[in-house]
Amino acid sequence: MTTNLPTASRQYIHYNPERTDYSVTIDELARLETAGSNFWKDLCLVCASLGVSCEINAIAGTPSPFVLSVPLFLNYLFGTLGIVLAVAFGIAWSKTYTGFGKIIEEIKNKPKMEIVPSTTNVGALPAATLVPSPPAGMTPSTGGGGRAG
């Protein structure tokens, strides 16, 4: 007895109908990536950690009768400068961070297409086939690149 098993491998998608999915284009992914890699955030965090640690060290190292020494002066200088720069970089970070929310809002406001699981027979959907794309700059309509033979 022979069974008619398909010879090609099958692919399945496990889908939860109670979940909302959004489609994202490659341009939107690139915009999200650039919005997420914010250089101002990195500078703000480095300056804040340097400034706060230098200020704590300066306050802890201040002698009771105040005598200004070179290490104490440098701690106060780098601490104050670090905190001021952290605030400036934090402001720049907050101004550029708003791009994230705008991109996500654009993705959420795309037109919706409802898929009703009870009426959609997934087995009846056409199977996806992998078709090789033509080389860059050539389309099938132009007929370029084909070898006559």
Task: Provide the residue type at 18 as one letter.
Answer: E
- What's the pLDDT score for residue 147? 47
Q: Can you give the C-alpha Rg of the chain in angstroms?
A: 30
| Residue 148 to residue 121: CA distance in whole angstroms | 44
- What's the pLDDT score for residue 121? 59
- What's the pLDDT score for residue 86? 96
Q: Where are the domains of the chain?
A: 26-111
- Ranges of residues in the chain whose predicted pLDDT is under 70: 1-8, 98, 115-149
- What's the pLDDT score for residue 51? 95
| Its pTM surpasses 0.75 | no
- What's the pLDDT score for residue 124? 59
Element (H, E) at 30: helix 26-36
